[in-house]
Structure 1
Amino acid sequence: MSQYVGRLGRRSPAAPSRLRLHRRPRRVAMLSVHTSPLHQPGTGDAGGMNVYIVELAQRLAAINIEVEIFTRATSGDLPPTVQLAPGVLVRHVDAGPYEGLAKEDLPAQLCAFTHGVMQAWAGHRPGHYDLVHSHYWLSGHVGWLAAQRWGVPLVHAMHTMAKVKNANLADGDTPEPAARVIGETQIVAAADRLIANTAEEADELVRHYAADLAKVAVVHPGVNLDRFRPFPQGMFPGDPGALGPGDAQAARSAARARLGLPQDALIPLFAGRIQPLKAPDVLLRAVAVLLDTRPELRPNIVVPVVGGPSGSGLAKPEGLQKLAARLGIADVVRFRPPVGQEQLADWFRAASVLVMPSYSESFGLVAIEAQAAGTPVLAAAVGGLPVAVRDGVTGFLVQGHHPGAYARVLGRFADEPSLSGRMGAAAARHAQSFGWDTAAAATADVYTAATQSHRRRVRSQHG
């Protein structure tokens, strides 16, 4: 995975299986305070992290690591527990009012959430949980307390970092508060292991938060290769990694027919949460620049925006529609609400290119999903996107957020209709190395290393 993983003291392949099983946790308490794995990605605070938690938990269960996911109840109708999959249980914790709480209001509810987690633990025999894996800084604070109380290791995944986001703010976006920076610094110091999506994120943990490099492991997120593939399952018997340009074009044509989209159109797609951080406005401005310079393209371009308002975007939920009208491109933009994973895969297949002009991305899971579906990606060269996208091979990376730079690349896709098929075939091959099974196995190794170091630390304290 990375140079950082080697610092975890990973087992050699010849290590006895009995030793591996002894050191691997049997049951993990996974914490996701602010967003439920059961929520629809693409709106509110639900996004790539939701997909990450669901897919990782299922793959961990498949290798005999049970996962119980604690999340905040957002409705009084929710059952206390939901069996998400064999070996994966979601626990709904009452903490604050069910509805109307923004993510920024949740720090005040962490005591109540921690109480709910402790209540669930108190109903079990000692040693029920072998490890805590927290996601995002809010969960990290609960995980810190729970791990200390239970005497087990804490593994934490940041997903995003306040200092990194504040250094890359979109115009008009709200900076992350100082309380979050302090909270993240405390979690970095407390965790037995920190999981970073990329080597760059690992560097940022060390540079911005003084993380101990020996505690940082790089594990690339995965993609559901059964769901995100150029053709829906059963429609193409071959290996997606062996897809040719003609196959990619045929997959695109079939998806457009299913979605009622024009066969020969240039279709640059935005899919995700609508907020300044994700910069969907850059795509709209780029399309406006393109059509200003090349008005003959207007009859042959469709710009789908699939997603819902989120974060600071909630303050102006109609802002993007109004921008399209001001730019004079409302006739070519199609706004669609968030969709389920199966239909999202079809939107990826149908697109000429997925456009991700984000100001910050810890990894950019959507970029890998689109590529697995056989679609190239046009993205900002930020965060993990240079890892997710092979510039010039599976898509294009743009420095900065100037609409003209994105318009030039869109013009290339308009001028070279075969470019989507050629790059899409390469993208499908590239994505094959990002399966969730690989990510789960690497995460299990991190758990093992965290358990070992935790035991050494406990022995030294009592020694």
Structure 2
Amino acid sequence: MRIAMISMHTSPIEQPGSGDAGGMNVYVINVARQLARQGVDVDIYTRATRPSQGEIVEVEPRLRVINIVAGPYEGLSKEELPTQMVAFTGGLVQFVKCHGLHYDLIHSHYWLSGQVGWLLRDLWGLPLVHTAHTLAAVKNQYRSGDDTQESEARRICEQQLVDNADVLVVNTEQEARDLIRHYDADPSHIQVVSPGADTELFTPGSDRNTERSRRELGIPLHAKVVAFVGRLQKFKGPDVLIRAAAELFRRDPERNLRVIICGGPSGADASSESYHALVRELGMSCHVRFLQPRPPEELVSIYRAADIVAVPSYNESFGLVALEAQASGTPVVAARVGGLPIAVAEGETGELVEGHSAAAWADALARLLDDDDTRIAMGEAAVHHAARFSWAASASLLRDIYQQALAIEVPDCHQRHAAGA
């Protein structure tokens, strides 16, 4: 089986946590690796963002990333990428033709790639599997009051994909319900595949590992540490954690607490300065440390160094950071939104918070920070909980879905014309 995966707006081999690289990048590269190891040939098509990348990147046997030139390498925001969809599709088609490639199926990720996949589906007569990862209607429903609203144009494009994709793969049952509620999706077209975590990389380690991680990060060994890992954008809620930490210090100025925020700016307001300014405004400069995005093999040190990982997003289709943290033996305090109630076992591996008020988040953080026995027990349980999710299992389910999709008869142009007539 040979699969054409499309991830137009962000490369799966880019550093997660900055720009437009995030959980979707982690998802795509990990399921692609596991599919390749299970005998599926996978080519991932993405837009080239620098000439040094090369056209073809051999990731491992059976897995390649193909960089398609479409528009300038730099300077294009995600919001401007629709202007390059024709150029990207043309470059992709040309690459396939020049290399004599034939695919069995297309799997697109995110709505921009979905629009490309929809065209290729009709051009090549192949089944289209689509994974949205996020949905405009859901993001608009849960966004903070001062966050930018997703465009109606995006929502319309997503509706077209729901209407035309042969299979819609989602992370959770909640996401399936969102598709049905907001986009009138046919339930028979939806398949649920839970994401996983790299449980060989993300492990608890020993007390010595934790001490070393803190020394490397310059964190006092006896401080309590709360970490945020992700892109610095309003939808991810880093300001929620900052305000909650300030509330904890307002209640107890002597609290020995450090906050780590690891990630880079993303989105229309792509700057971290507003978060630095908020820290200064709240008098938290001595207690909050900002770190640049880290590759997974370094990120595990941050998870191990933390007593709690906070995930205050306004919505998450699943919450990979929460799963990675738990695999590393760290309990999670997360917002009760999207797939986070599945990623976090409430009361066993962490806590879920209703809403995003500083007071509610301060209460939840304080309960675990001040109860060492419960927090340590949750960290131990978290490792076992995370072990239930693996990328190999996710890929195996996807492979089964692909096999079923191959039986779908995609009408060619003559059939579609006859049907329209």
Give the TM-score category using the shorter length. over 0.9
Give the drift of 1:251. Answer: 5.1
Select 1:287's aligned residue among 237, 242, 245.
245
2:153 pairs, out of 155, 179, 183, with 179
Listed one character per residue, the Cα deviations across residues 231-274 of structure 1 (whole Å, up to 9, x for unaligned) are: 2xxxxxxxxxxxxxxx6x66534532443322221101011000
2:111–2:132 CA contact under 8 A, matched in 1 = yes
Task: Give the whole-Å Cα distance in 2 for the aligned partners of 1:272 and 1:381.
Answer: 17
Give yes or no for contact 1:276–1:312 (8 Å, CA) kept in 2.
Answer: no
Task: Within 5 Å, give how 1:263-302 maps onto structure 2.
Answer: 263-297=221-255, 300-302=256-258
SS at match of 2:248: helix
CA distance in 2, matches of 1:113, 1:191: 20
Q: C-alpha distance in 2, partners of 1:382/1:426?
A: 22
Instruction: Specify the code of the residue in structure 1 equivalent to 2:248.
Output: L
Equivalent position SS for 1:58:
helix
Aligned to 1:449: 404
In 2, the alpha carbon distance for the partners of 1:318 and 1:376 equals 29
2:178 is the counterpart of 1:204: yes
Alpha-carbon distance in structure 2 between the residues aligned to 1:457 and 1:117: 20
Please point out which of 339, 342, 350 is paired with 1:384.
Answer: 339
Q: Which residue of 330, 338, 350 corresponds with 2:293?
A: 338
**3-state DSSP class of the match of 2:224?**
coil
Tell whether the 8 Å contact from 2:50 to 2:73 is kept in structure 1 after alignment.
Answer: yes
**3-state DSSP of counterpart to 1:305:** strand
What is the 5 A alignment of 1:123-272?
Answer: 123-125=98-100, 128-231=102-205, 252-272=210-230
Q: Distance in 2 between matches of 1:159 and 1:228?
A: 23
Q: Which amino acid aligns with 2:267?
A: G
Q: What is the aligned partner in structure 2 of residue 349 from structure 1?
A: 304
List structure 1 runs of 4+ shifted beyond 6 angstroms. Answer: 455-458, 460-463
1:35 is aligned to 10
Give 1:43-192 correspondences, 5 Å limit: 43-125=18-100, 128-192=102-166
For residue 377 of structure 2, what is the aligned residue in structure 1? 422
Partner of 1:328: 283
Normalising by the residue count of structure 1, what TM-score does the alignment of the two structures yield?
0.87
CA–CA separation in structure 2 for the residues paired with 1:27 and 1:363: 27
Residue of structure 2 in register with 1:364 after alignment: 319
| Distance in 2, Cα, partners of 1:74 & 1:230 | 36
Q: Deviations over 1:363-383 (max 9, x none)?
A: 111110000000001000000
Residue in structure 2 matched with residue 308 of structure 1 by the alignment: 264
How far has the Cα of 1:456 moved from its partner?
9.7
Q: In structure 2, what is the Cα distance between the partners aligned to 1:457 and 1:105?
A: 31
- Structure 1 residues 64-120: Cα deviation after superposition (integer angstroms, max 9, x where no partner): 101000000111232111101111111110111110000000011000000011112
Q: 1:170 to 1:111 in 2, by over 3 A?
A: same
Moved more, 153-162 or 202-211: 202-211
The unaligned stretches of length 5 or more in structure 2 are none
Q: CA deviation at 1:295?
A: 1.1
Aligned to 2:392: 437
- One-letter identity of the residue aligned with 1:351: A
Amino acid at match of 1:449: Q
Q: Distance in 1 between matches of 2:208 and 2:112?
A: 45
Structure 1 residue identity aligned to 2:392:
D
- 70-79 or 392-401: bigger deviation: 70-79
Q: Which moved more, 1:256-265 or 1:330-339?
A: 256-265
Any idea what the Cα deviations from partners look like across 1:402-436, whole Å, max 9, x if unmatched?
A: 11111112212332123332111000000001110
Per-residue displacement from partner, 1:35-88 (whole Å, max 9, x unpaired)? 011211000000011111110110000111010000001112321111011111
The answer to which of 300-309 and 254-263 deviates more is 254-263
- What letter matches 2:4 in structure 1? A
Q: Could you give the per-residue CA deviations for residues 142-173 of structure 1, whole angstroms, max 9, x where no partner exists?
A: 00111211111000000000000011111321
Equivalent residue letter for 2:262: V
The code of the aligned residue for 1:382 comes to V
Question: Which SS does the other structure have where 1:311 is aligned?
Answer: coil
Contact 2:122–2:412 (Cα < 8 Å) also in 1 = no
Could you give the per-residue CA deviations for residues 292-324 of structure 1, whole angstroms, max 9, x where no partner exists? 011120xx111010001101341x430000000
- Correspondence for 1:6: none
Q: Is the 8 A contact 1:170 1:359 kept in 2?
A: yes
1:258, 1:75 → 2: CA distance?
A: 32
- The answer as to whether partners of 1:356 and 1:380 remain within 8 angstroms in 2 is yes
Structure 2 Cα separation of the partners of residues 96 and 265 of structure 1: 48
DSSP-derived class of the 2:107 partner: strand
Q: Percent identity?
A: 47
Q: Structure 1 CA distance, aligned partners of 2:17 and 2:263?
A: 5
Query: For residues 456 and 396 of structure 1, what CA distance do their matches in structure 2 show?
Result: 49
Counterpart of 1:402? 357
Tell me if the contact between 1:230 and 1:428 (Cα under 8 Å) persists in the aligned partners: yes
